[in-house]
Amino acid sequence: MDVQFPIYSPEHEIYDPLFEEKNLRVFIKRDDMIHPFISGNKWRKLKLHIEQAKSQGINQLVTFGGAWSNHILATAAAGAQFQLKTYAFIRGEEVSNPVLSMCKLFGMQLHFVDRESYRNKEALFQQAFPAQEAWFIDEGGRSDLGIEGCVSIYEELKNTYQHIILAAGTGTTAAGLLKAIQSQSNDTQLHVVPVLKLGDSLANDFKTWGLASKNLYLHADYHFGGYAKTKPELLAFIQSFVSKTGIMIEPVYTGKMMYGLYDLIKKDQFKPGSHILAIHTGGLTGFLGMYEQFGALPGI
């Protein structure tokens, strides 16, 4: 069975008086429009895993994540679409929420594990599936296959950009873009906004993947306290951006990335006349776990 489906991820220009003041043109690649649930970089990181599993006659995907994981939901939806069973180890105590309910709706089996056991994902997988009857996908889709799948983001671009910026968790998507940029031997600068503390450590991961630091800029000061952490200024920025552009972003990934982009522009980090592309990596269901925080904002 073919695991292709049409990719719709246009490049939209967005406008702001700040961009005009700094003589910059800013665009956003809408990977969030690829699929309602297998959106953004999730499909790109899963595609080659699904192809490999099906080619080897394996009919079950096994993966890992937290209770609000977009990757878990995307895996569940992809499994349903391509007739594969799905199973997920969920970090932490058993809970119920809208994301996990959707996963179950797509037919995914969920198994909650304590945080200590969760650290050894390979052991969990081998204990539950000793006969190699399932396909292992690491948390967030982190893998060489995931990196290769994300190369396609760059290959699809319709225009030329001096700068590309995106959020990073595992760094898989950023690694795919960096690999594509360096293979073309061009001068495009890749700006990565880690959403976890100690995001500078991603530089070592890129080295492990055989990628040079050329073309790479890590901006590790926009995590707002760590993964899924926020501050009032981030929430206010997201509300302003969404209301002015009609483009939905959320506090875990894309909100931090866009906040970082605006801040870098204010600080004159980009040469006038530059064209900048922001990658919308989807993950909009992340808003569901944090919507109450927006209730305290004026006008909401």
Residue extents of the structural domains in the chain: 11-39+146-294, 41-141
Task: Please tell me the total number of residues recorded for the chain in this structure.
Answer: 300
Report how far residue 293's alpha carbon sits from residue 225's, in angstroms, rounded to the nearest whole number: 15
Per DSSP bridges, beta strands 11-14 and 25-30 are antiparallel
The per-residue pLDDT for 18 is 98
Q: What is the DSSP letter of 222?
A: -
Q: The pTM is what?
A: 0.93
Exposed/middle/buried for residue 296 (C-beta within 10 Å: 0-12, 13-18, 19+): exposed
Q: Helix %, strand %, coil % for the chain, to 5? A: 45, 15, 40
Q: Which residues are catalytic?
A: 69
Residues whose CB falls within 8 Å of the CB of residue 134, separated by 6 or more in sequence, listed in order: 58, 60, 61, 62, 87, 125
Tokens of 61: 């995907």
Give the helix ranges, DSSP H, for 185-217. 202-208
Report how far residue 131's alpha carbon sits from residue 90's, in angstroms, rounded to the nearest whole number: 22
Q: What is the DSSP letter of 194?
A: E
Tokens of 208: 């492990």
Give the number of other Cβ atoms within 10 Å of residue 146's Cβ.
Answer: 27
Closest to 171 in 3D by CA, of 205, 212, 137: 205
Give the number of other Cβ atoms within 10 Å of residue 22's Cβ.
Answer: 18
Show the CA angle centred on residue 39, arms to residues 37 and 45, nearest 5°.
Answer: 115
Fold designation for 41-141:
Rossmann fold (3.40.50)
Residues whose CB falls within 8 Å of the CB of residue 293, separated by 6 or more in sequence, listed in order: 230, 235, 251
Give the number of other Cβ atoms within 10 Å of residue 210's Cβ.
Answer: 11
Tokens of 232: 């009032």
- Angle between helix 41-55 and helix 172-184 axes, rounded to 10 deg: 90
Q: What would the CATH number be for the domain defined by 11-39+146-294?
A: 3.40.50.1100
**What is the full per-residue pLDDT of the chain (300 aa) written as tens digits?**
567 777 899 999 999 999 999 999 999 999 999 999 998 899 999 999 999 999 999 999 999 999 999 999 999 999 999 999 999 999 999 999 999 999 999 999 999 999 999 999 999 999 999 877 899 999 999 999 999 999 999 999 999 999 999 999 999 999 999 999 999 878 999 999 999 998 888 999 999 999 988 899 999 999 999 988 999 999 999 999 999 999 999 999 999 999 999 999 999 999 999 999 999 999 888 777 777 777 666 555
Show the CA angle centred on residue 234, arms to residues 232 and 235, nearest 5°.
Answer: 65
Give the number of other Cβ atoms within 10 Å of residue 45's Cβ.
Answer: 28
The per-residue pLDDT for 300 is 53
Report how far residue 292's alpha carbon sits from residue 109's, in angstroms, rounded to the nearest whole number: 28
List phi, psi (to 5°) of 11: -105, 110
Report how far residue 171's alpha carbon sits from residue 196's, in angstroms, rounded to the nearest whole number: 11
Residue with tokens 């991603």: 202
Q: Do domains 11-39+146-294 and 41-141 have the same CATH topology?
A: yes
